[in-house]
Structure 1
Amino acid sequence: MKQEIQVGGRKRTFLLITNGQAAVAQRIAAVLIVLHGSNQTGQSVRAFAGNSFDRLAAAGRVAVVYPDGLKKRWNHNKPGHGATDDVAFLAALADHFHASFGPVPVIVVGFSNGGQLAIRLVHEIPAKLHGAAIVGATLPRPGGLVLADKSLPLPVMLVHGTGDFVVPYGGEGWFASLLGGRRGPSAFDTAKYFAARNNITAEPTSVVLPHRRESGKTSVTLTRFEQGPRPPVWLYTVVGGGHVVPNRHRKAIFVAGRTTQDIGTAEALAEFFPVLRG
């Protein structure tokens, strides 16, 4: 159901999905906050992902939350007076659900512009999060993001398609770099950055996931950055995949690119974050 909270004198809205009766009987064990992309809303990214995140709530132990950005955008990089404080909004949401459900893990997954905000949240409010997932977003070019980094390691999962023409796998400004422009970190570089931030020095390992016939020309490689008890970083590279939230229930529109069936983002989240399993 649609709900609202006041943050900084503004009404902010979000959609909350639970399996009502089961949630009451079993108690909520985790909260998953899904951040939409530009020109989307919480409800539209819910449909864009084939309602696949809702399935994590089916067993009754996970609450799935779809917040709405003001004017269908998130402020992932503008500090200071007059800028929308979406970091404060997400911090308030985490506090709201901790008050409602107790000190349960709060995990953020962001798509595109929502993934950019998730990157900011990992740096600025890590103590309120159990971890994050970034879909179709990379670190910005140097100087493109001012972060008040709290330097608290967190597990991070990334999903990115090599056929993404909105946020190229090769990094922000990748096309301009062909003409000598400055390029931002690639998806792989972004994963390496978070691994280094988590003090992981071991070499990553990679495996190609089983291929389904319905995935057509796409395939998925999982690269794991892991070292002992340090928070891990996983990168799912969707070869041939577009600017989409991979799921096995709904393909994105043609202009967004291919949607693989070799991975479902919700299922990958449940594998990476065991607390999200039913």
Structure 2
Amino acid sequence: MKTPSHLGIDDVGFFVKLATHLGNTYGIKRIFVVGYSNGGQMVLRLMHEVPKMLSGAATIASNMPVAENTLPQVKTFKTHPVPYLAMAGTADTFSPYEGGDAGIGREHRRGVGMSAFDSAAYIAARNGLTEHRHDVIDDVVSIDTWDGENPVEFWTLNGIGHLVPSGKTYPEFLGPSTTSVIAAEEIGKFFDGVRRR
């Protein structure tokens, strides 16, 4: 399978131009990004390549690749903290909660990823955060939080599959859903808290 880099597509360059256009045309100065699955991988890439352009980031069903599955140039990017919220379902078979081979079908493998918790802890470390707590909210949700100026929240969704919790019905192959969490609302609350800091 050919990747965007093989095809000469500059996804990050497009993002930079779009963000610059929004700033110049509409005076937008703060950029918050959210991505699900492969879109979440793009968010993680932006957090590494152009973190200073981001006021906050969130991913759903997207784990960091392990070091052996990470492009070498990622290690050369200068670290800059980005407030971050991640959600991951324990019944996700495409981006496994416990880590491992990720992807949908034989033709669309993404390689080996970290566990969902380790992915969030990795971002927390990049943000210079050390204070951690774990809160069980209910039968579905538990939240790991790293507090600080650039906080990180990791939402474990027990028994939930590879989907965006929205109260809607999804195809069965994505796994179980829930009506107790609306991801857009929770991410909005997180970003609002970041905005008010």
Would you call these one fold, judging by a TM-score over 0.5? yes
Task: Name the residue aligned to 1:188.
Answer: 117
Q: Does 1:225 align with 2:154?
A: no
Task: Name the residue aligned to 1:17.
Answer: none
Q: Does 1:90 align with 2:90?
A: no
Shift of 1:270: 1.4
Shift of 1:201: 1.4
AA matched with 1:220:
V
Shift of 1:82: 4.2
Identity of aligned residues (%): 36
Task: Name the residue aligned to 2:38.
Answer: 113
AA matched with 1:129:
L
Matched ranges for 1:125-204 at <5 A:
125-146=50-71, 147=74, 148-173=76-101, 184-202=113-131, 204=132
The 8 Å contact of residues 170 and 187 in structure 1, kept in 2 or not, is answered as yes
- Structure 1 gap ranges (5+): 1-72, 175-181, 212-218
Matched ranges for 1:1-278 at <5 A:
75=4, 78=5, 82-146=7-71, 147=74, 148-173=76-101, 184-202=113-131, 204-210=132-138, 219-227=140-148, 229=149, 231-248=150-167, 250-274=168-192
Aligned length: 183
Shift of 1:100: 2.5
User: 2 CA distance for matches of 1:273 and 1:247?
Assistant: 18
Shift of 1:101: 2.1
TM-score (norm 1): 0.61
User: 1 CA distance for matches of 2:26 and 2:128?
Assistant: 32
Change (3 A) 1:246 1:201: same
User: 1 CA distance for matches of 2:100 and 2:56?
Assistant: 23
> 3-state SS of the aligned residue for 2:20?
helix
User: 1 CA distance for matches of 2:118 and 2:45?
Assistant: 16
User: 1 CA distance for matches of 2:178 and 2:159?
Assistant: 8
The 8 Å contact of residues 135 and 144 in structure 2, kept in 1 or not, is answered as yes
More helix by share: 2
User: 1 CA distance for matches of 2:178 and 2:25?
Assistant: 36
RMSD of Structure 2 on Structure 1 (CA): 2.3
TM-score (norm 2): 0.84
Larger Rg: 1
